[in-house]
Amino acid sequence: MIVGLDHLQLAMPVDGEKAARHYYGELLSLKEIDKPQPLRSRGGVWFQIPDGRQLHLGVERDFRPSKKAHPCFVVGGDLKDLAQRLEEACYDVQFDDLNPPARRFYTHDVFGNRLEFTDRMSAE
């Protein structure tokens, strides 16, 4: 029986670690964590999500960004502030009001992977 979620993984291209650190570490303020030693040779980068889960960015040699499947991150604080930060960094942000009272927006990461951000926790 499933009792939780440990981590989620997104794909990234070869040598994308610097760009991943900038996007996820600097723009989204996630803390980078060390990959276990046996996995380091595969490349990629891992981040800690404040709720205890992890985000793993793994290298795919024939990388193609995920255009439909996506994670949804819960934002603590003002959702519009994060949207503005991403727009100022030249990322397109599309708000969606189809499921009120939660607010949400979609964007793409530095590699083109689709991402969703919501403040649904504050609406409950």
Does the N-terminal peptide bond of residue 50 adopt cis geometry, omega within 30 degrees of 0?
A: no
Q: Please return the burial class of 18, using the count of CB atoms within 10 Å of its CB with bins 0-12, 13-18 and 19+.
A: exposed
Query: What pLDDT is attached to residue 94?
Result: 97
What is the structure's pLDDT at 123?
47
The pTM of the full predicted model, rounded to 2 decimals, is 0.91
Sole residue written with tokens 């793993």: 56
CATH code linked to domain 7-123: 3.10.180.10
Domain boundaries, the chain: 7-123
Contacts of 56 by beta carbon, 8 Å cutoff, 6+ apart: 7, 8, 9, 10, 44, 46
pLDDT at position 121 is 56
Q: Can you give the length of the chain in residues?
A: 124
pLDDT at 98: 81
pLDDT in tens, the chain (124 residues): 988 899 999 999 999 999 999 999 999 999 999 999 999 999 999 999 999 999 999 999 999 999 999 999 999 888 999 999 999 999 999 999 887 778 999 999 999 999 999 987 554 4
- φ, ψ at 74 (rounded to 5°): -85, 125
